Amino acid sequence: MKKLSDVLLGRGEGHVGLAAGLWLGLYFGARAMLEMDGLSPWVRAAIALAPLPAFAWFLRDFIRSVSGADELERRIQLEALAVAFPLTLLLLMTLGLLQIAIDLNMDDWSYRHIWPFLYVFYFMGLMRARRRYQ
């Protein structure tokens, strides 16, 4: 049986890796385009929303992959998310408090910089859980 991580990293027949690649490509493409001047607000909004269909595709295939995984793999995914979720909450809460305490520069700490931490926490949890059951 194929490991979910293989699917996520595009090493299997699934489309999760492809969908994630397309989504991230569109995201960074949108970010680059939004740095350009002279675009109307409607065009800028359309560019900002462009990655959403790819994300929906990624989400659908990810959920299908988890549903199709065996019981240990589902346990590992649950443990990875059980690490990622509270750590993300902790990060957001701490940044919220810091924002009150000191003048955080939003160019450094806006949402566009924070969301990748969720991935970092998820992969930390995934490695921890995978090592545990090796």
Partner 1 sequence: MRNRLKVFRAERDWSQAQLAEALGVSRQTINAIETGKYDPSLPLAMQIARLAGQPVEALFFLDEGEQEAAKRSAP
Q: Rule CB under 8 A: which residues touch partner 1?
A: 1, 3, 70-73, 75, 132-134
Measured from the CB atom, the residue of 54 and 83 that comes closer to partner 1 is: 83
When the beta carbons of 61 and 73 are compared against partner 1, the nearer one is 73
Closer CB to partner 1, 112 or 128, in the complex: 128
| Shortest separation between residue 112's beta carbon and partner 1, angstroms | 36
Of 131, 119, 133, 134, the residue nearest 83 (C-alpha): 119
Q: How far is the CB of 10 from partner 1 (least distance, A)?
A: 18
Instruction: Give the nearest distance from C-beta 69 to partner 1 in angstroms.
Output: 8
Q: In Å, what is the CA distance from 125 to each residue of 18, 41, 98, 109? A: 23, 39, 25, 23
